[in-house]
Amino acid sequence: MEKNSEYWEKRLASETWKTYNSLEEKNRELLEFYIDASESVKDELYRLAEKYSKDGVLSLSDMHKQNRLTELNGKFEKIIEDLGHSTEAFAKKNMQDGFKKVYADTAAGMGDLDFSMPNKKLMEKLMETPWRGDNFSGRLWKNQKKLAVSLNDILLTGLQQGKTAVEIAIMLHNRMGQGFNECHRLVRTETMHYLNDATLQRYKDADVKYVQILAAKDERTCDICGGYHEKVYPIEECVHVPLHANCRCTIIPVTDEKLIAAYEKNHPDELESDIGQKIVERITGISKQRKMFEQKVKNINDIRVRTLLTQSLERTTIKRAKGRKSKYSASEKTVYLAKNAKVDTLAHELFHEIDDAYGLIENGLLSKSVISDYNKLQNLAKGYGKSIEEMLYSRYPKAFRKDTEKLALKEEYRGISDILNGMSSGEINLGYWHDKEYWKKTGRVEAESFAQFGRALYGGNPEVLDMFKSLFPNSYDEVSGRIERLIK
């Protein structure tokens, strides 16, 4: 009897999900970590308020005296750092225990009773290996940094607005609650990924050649998971699972010869259908740029972005630009790609095509968000007593180049520079910009902002994305929401 997906679901997947559920029970302890940290944040604020507040209000001028605000900022950062260490140690211990359990269960489920458990070095390597741009530790510490910055921003805003210590404490507590939700989501997602690493490692050790994605029963109607459910892959080409946050998709072996034969029949070696075009692309280098782009698209964390870029690439012709600048031609449905352009530039231009295809900016996308985000930045800079450029340097020094006299962002942050240049009508120049005349045309700021968001989402650099979210929260939420609706 051929062993089909239902057989392996009962033998393997169900055991993986049981292990996941048992680890999820343990994750309740994370809430206690965050409650304790939230109390510590509140205590530090109240300790200062008891000494220096008037009618429960701490004045900003008093807080600047004797570096009180700076010291409180540092205490908040230390609390969040300690929280991060506790969370990391707790989650890693649980994940490693889960890895061993799933590896052993998978071996037993496949009838392999005589097997060796992977050594500690391999288990640690799998946990440290980045997937879709980062690993667990990297993502966790990006979240902790973002949380610490948010708490200090809330504190500063509360002081500027003359709120009482109690009102500020409530806002800080709410942000800690949000931080817990983000942490819990991360731990759940990373746990499922690591458990799937255990199954994949066992399949490789057992010389399995093909695998299949299996969605949990309650996720098979999910727009994302449903599209991958029971999809077959050669084991070395299997997509990263989970497919999205909180996803419980797992991986089962394919031992049904009919399924394997069907896959091999439908995926023959790619034939060169247009030899002349292939030669032109090789000579100009476009084929190499396109191949690099497509390879990275496969590993984009956000499947919605992955889908949009794949669809856009299918609609669009790619040609070599005559000059040094890349551009998208709406009338020709063509991206003209410069010879020296990096692959994220192609993503940027394809987001211009997506805008054109759906009429996004034309129908008002980002028209209000870019204004509100810029106003927020101006007010935040005033609180620091600095210009926007100086304020950004004080908050994000690692994002700036060290080899220039003028303030300039590193290349990976070029989208942020261009958006700020547009928002300020060309006044703010942090290394990447357009001419002031360019910004005078209606819709240019919104269109370039959307395309620069696309560049950042394609790049997947967590630090860049965190900076986008922090500086342009309204625009980021609007773009994310619209992207989600575009593929439904």
**205 shares a domain with 147:** yes
The parent domain of residue 432 ranges over 369-486
**322 shares a domain with 387:** no
**165 shares a domain with 70:** yes
In a domain? residue 296: yes
In a domain? residue 281: yes
Give tens-digit pLDDT for 358-371: 889 988 999 999 99
pLDDT at residue 278 in the model: 47
What is the phi/psi pair of residue 39, to 5°?
-65, -40
Domain end marker among 252, 283, 306: 252
**187 shares a domain with 142:** yes
Q: What is the torsional sign of CA 272, 277, 283, 284?
A: negative
pLDDT at residue 270 in the model: 33
**190 shares a domain with 45:** yes
Give tens-digit pLDDT for 40-85: 999 999 999 999 999 999 999 999 998 999 999 999 999 999 999 9
In a domain? residue 467: yes
**213 shares a domain with 169:** yes
Closest CA to 377 of 367, 388, 366: 388
- Using CA atoms of 15, 16, 20, 21 in order, give the dihedral in degrees to the nearest 10: -30
In a domain? residue 262: no
**53 shares a domain with 83:** yes
**213 shares a domain with 147:** yes
In a domain? residue 364: no
- Distance separating alpha carbons of residues 374 and 226, to the nearest angstrom: 39
**Whole-structure pTM value:** 0.62
The total of other beta-carbon atoms located within 10 Å of residue 239's CB is 16
pLDDT at residue 254 in the model: 95
In a domain? residue 269: no
**186 shares a domain with 284:** no
**136 shares a domain with 32:** yes
Domain total in the chain: 3
Closest CA to 315 of 354, 259, 286: 354
pLDDT at residue 332 in the model: 84
Closest CA to 160 of 382, 392, 377: 382
In a domain? residue 196: yes
Domain end marker among 237, 252, 267: 252
In a domain? residue 265: no
Give tens-digit pLDDT for 173-200: 999 999 999 999 999 999 999 999 999 9
Task: Provide the 3-class DSSP secondary structure of residue 334.
Answer: strand
- Distance separating alpha carbons of residues 196 and 271, to the nearest angstrom: 34
**169 shares a domain with 33:** yes
Residue 249 in tokens: 């998709």
- Distance separating alpha carbons of residues 145 and 168, to the nearest angstrom: 20
What is the phi/psi pair of residue 92, to 5°?
-65, -40
Contact predicate 63/134, CB 8 Å: no
Q: What is the mean pLDDT of the chain?
A: 91
**Residue stretches of the chain with pLDDT short of 70:** 1-2, 268-285, 487-488
Contact predicate 357/130, CB 8 Å: no
Closest CA to 447 of 360, 357, 386: 360
**337 shares a domain with 378:** no
Domain end marker among 358, 383, 401: 358
